[in-house]
Structure 1
Amino acid sequence: MDYRKIGGLILSLRKEKGLTQRQLAECLNVSDKAISKWERGMGCPDVSLLPSIAEIFGVDLESILKGTLSENAIEGGNMKKLKFYVCPTCGNFITGISEASISCCGKKLAPLVAKKAQESEKLSVEHIENDYFISSDHPMTKEHYISFVALLTGDSVMIRKQYPEWDLSTRIPRFGHGILYWHCVDHGLFYQPV
């Protein structure tokens, strides 16, 4: 741990929030002299205070310990680079168009790597009126099922949550050609063009 970097980060985050040293000290139940000491790199907050500091400033604990906030490059909103993150514990799924530090249930999540579906793995996609009707005979048991289906086009994404013990059959508005993604809780993320 580099005390100067941590102190510099606390100083910049405090000023960004518009807090005085005294106000921050009151939030943490420490003296304003302690805040001054940290910001000058002459010491470091006690480990028990770090979660509170992270919460006050709305940053993650790891950033406080590193003493830096890492910013992502601006992607320009290119949906073709959409990343899917799925929590192995609770099944929560999250998307992002650029790299992100995402955690759920206390675990850091890595973006899933999509595999191109083989012919036998592909979902059935039919054109019905102005929709894609998506279905599959994939098992939908509590232990093995497809958790979501997503249609990704050049500028948008439509996600349909799926549930175990329900048949996989859903309609997604046909708003252009794109890529159909789906996530099997046992085998991972797949895609096929539509």
Structure 2
Amino acid sequence: MGCPDVSLWDDLSTVLGADILKLLQGELSPNRPDVGKLEKTLFYVCPTCGNILVSTGTASISCCGRKLKPLIPVSCSEEHKAVLREIDLEYYVTVNHDMRKDHYISFAALVYHDRIYLNRLYPEQNPEFRLPMVRKGGYLYIYCTQHGLQKCPIAQITREHERIAD
């Protein structure tokens, strides 16, 4: 059995709409259908370019020629705790966190039932953003470039008006 010339793999991959690695392995097995449960959302960050990728089910994700592994969220630490303020039917979210070029929050995402809201943040920018107000449920994910992905239920996040009343 012959193998196509190496220079043809890229074109073959494009024509077949398949990943070159999967073609080389000789197996193109489809994933199971996505059942639509956003609480199973997976986040990926490319270590080379910083690209943020999101999948709602099992996927083979790659960027800059490298296969990426999903980020494993941990519970929010004190250093990454957010504070919510309700302003104009939105949440105004602040995080008391450094935003240096070598250590900053890269993104925050609200995952709520059938929606994902992603906010990209940059070094030397204030760690604050707006999110739509949600009724019940949902999770806030915060990705720190040094400490990884953190996950906090919206119900457990400090509300500014509650903090003032205490």
Same fold (TM > 0.5): yes
Q: Residue 91 in 1 paired to residue 50 in 2? A: yes
Residue in structure 1 matched with residue 5 of structure 2 by the alignment = 46
Return the structure number with greater helix share: 1
Q: Residue 190 in 1 paired to residue 150 in 2? A: yes
Write out per-residue CA displacement over residues 33-63 of structure 1, whole angstroms, 9 at most, x where no aligned residue: xxxxxxxxx3221223222211222211111
SS in 2 for 1:50: helix
Write out per-residue CA displacement over residues 91-142 of structure 1, whole angstroms, 9 at most, x where no aligned residue: 1001011111111111110100001013443111222231111111201011
Residue in structure 2 matched with residue 17 of structure 1 by the alignment = none
SS in 2 for 1:149: strand
What's the C-alpha RMSD, in Å, of the aligned pairs?
Answer: 1.3
Residue in structure 2 matched with residue 116 of structure 1 by the alignment = 75
The amino acid of 1:103's aligned partner reads S
The amino acid of 2:149's aligned partner reads L
Alpha-carbon distance in 2 for matches of 1:183, 1:161: 10
Residue in structure 2 matched with residue 127 of structure 1 by the alignment = 86
User: Quick check: which has more Rg, 1 or 2?
Assistant: 1
Alpha-carbon distance in 1 for matches of 2:14, 2:57: 24
Deviation at 1:70, TM superposition (A): 1.9
Flag structure 1 segments of 5+ consecutive residues without an equivalent.
1-41
Write out per-residue CA displacement over residues 54-82 of structure 1, whole angstroms, 9 at most, x where no aligned residue: 12222111111112212111131110100
Residue in structure 1 matched with residue 106 of structure 2 by the alignment = 147
Q: Report 1:35-74 matches (<5 A).
A: 42-74=1-33
Residue in structure 2 matched with residue 169 of structure 1 by the alignment = 128
The amino acid of 2:9's aligned partner reads L
Higher relative contact order (CA 8 A, sep 6+): 2
Structure 1 range deviating more: 47-56 or 101-110: 47-56
Q: Give the count of matched residue pairs.
A: 153
Q: Residue 104 in 1 paired to residue 51 in 2? A: no
TM-score in terms of structure 1 length:
0.75
Aligned-pair identity in percent equals 42
Alpha-carbon distance in 1 for matches of 2:80, 2:141: 12
TM-score in terms of structure 2 length:
0.86
Alpha-carbon distance in 1 for matches of 2:119, 2:25: 38
Alpha-carbon distance in 1 for matches of 2:14, 2:46: 22
